[in-house]
Structure 1
Amino acid sequence: MNRLEELYHEAKADEWFKRFAVFCRIALAASFIPAGIVKIMGERFTALPSSDPLGHYFDALYLTGPYYTFIGIVQILTALLLLIPRTALLGALMYFPIILNICVLTYATHFTGTRIVTMMVLANLFLLVWDYDRLKPILPFKQAKIDPPVLKRPLGIRLRIIFFGSSILVLALIIIGTFYL
């Protein structure tokens, strides 16, 4: 077992990381529920004008009718799956391609909300890594069957500081990077 897996199991046992995972699930679900409801109700998603590239895209998407409603239903379903602990992994797996598509779209159209969407992608990636132990059997890596390790050198509070410090650094890089794009 390598050091990375030891750190993973240490984080999984830490209450702060557990709370952060719950926060990410709630925040991501909260972002999809209003957007899904708007689509299901058959209303326009945004007030952006058609002259804006993203506004033009949303106008075209709105005109698809049943497909627009279908997207709303999938967003609500994904949000609900994220909120239920037993189905949170399925919700995170469904959320990833949707939010990645939205992220690429916002970058391509130079949308001002790109930073927030990028943070949503990162939160979703955190949730997928959080469930690494459940995803591990389907990953294409050579794996030995072993029990979770007894930590030889636990980092304790330093792990939190490293993780959250790195997260702040990544967010700062996103803000600076999107400012210059």
Structure 2
Amino acid sequence: MKTLEAAVYKLHQKLIFKLFTWGTRILLSLAFIPSGLKKLLGQRFTLLGTDDPVGFFFEALYQAGWYWNFLGFMQLLVALLLLIPRTAFLGAIIYLPIVINIFVIVTAMKFQGTPIIAGLMLLANIYLLIWDYTKIKELIAVIFKKEKQIE
């Protein structure tokens, strides 16, 4: 673990990686804003008919009512959190299950080209979590310390 800490520390010292990290945060935020806004406003995400499996899937989500709006709200919240320096780590943590879910859905439903984009988003999110490795390490230590106290 010390070598990972040392590697992350070296990354933090280089301007190019600081800029890359900010660029990654901005791009991941921008990826969620249009779709999140459509869902929050209660608009359909696609014009595909229900005879198409992808259109059927999105129509089912749309028909779920407030769950559709909740998905949009969470996408917008995460996008905002990633852009604020104090909350970027929290945004990256919340982004992870959302982007994993998107990746699994688009892969399972055989969306054309989208699994590549979702996979790259997932890799970018993992990069952001590695960037904040020390915070993850502290969070895990706190969680495990609490578990030991409960026993």
Q: What TM-score do you get using the length of structure 1 for normalisation?
A: 0.74
Q: What is the CA distance between 1:38 and its match in structure 2?
A: 0.4
Aligned residue identity for 2:128: L
Gaps of 5+ in 2: 142-151
The equivalent residue for 1:80 is 80
The equivalent residue for 2:62 is 62
Aligned residue identity for 2:131: W
Higher percent of residues as helix: 2
Q: Is 1:17 aligned with 2:7?
A: no
Whole-angstrom CA distance in 2 between matches of 1:108 and 1:45: 19
The equivalent residue for 1:147 is none
Q: Is 1:27 aligned with 2:27?
A: yes
The equivalent residue for 1:71 is 71
Report how many aligned residue pairs link the two structures. Answer: 140
* Dislocated runs of 4+, deviation >4 Å: none
| Cα pair 2:5 2:133 within 8 Å, conserved | no
Query: How many percent of aligned residue pairs carry the same amino acid?
Result: 46
Q: What is the CA distance between 1:13 and its match in structure 2?
A: 1.0
The equivalent residue for 2:149 is none
The equivalent residue for 2:108 is 108
Which structure would you say has the larger Rg?
Answer: 1
SS in 2 for 1:139: helix
SS in 1 for 2:50: coil
Aligned residue identity for 1:104: V
User: Structure 1, residues 110-158: CA drift from partner, whole Å, max 9, x if none?
Assistant: 1111101110000000001110111112336xxxxxxxxxxxxxxxxxx
Q: What is the CA distance between 1:51 and its match in structure 2?
A: 2.5
User: Structure 1, residues 41-65: CA drift from partner, whole Å, max 9, x if none?
Assistant: 2110112332332221110000011
The equivalent residue for 1:40 is 40
Q: Is 1:129 aligned with 2:91?
A: no
Whole-angstrom CA distance in 2 between matches of 1:54 and 1:90: 31
Q: Is 1:94 aligned with 2:94?
A: yes
Whole-angstrom CA distance in 2 between matches of 1:132 and 1:16: 18
The equivalent residue for 2:51 is 51
Aligned residue identity for 2:86: R
Aligned residue identity for 1:49: G
Aligned residue identity for 2:83: L
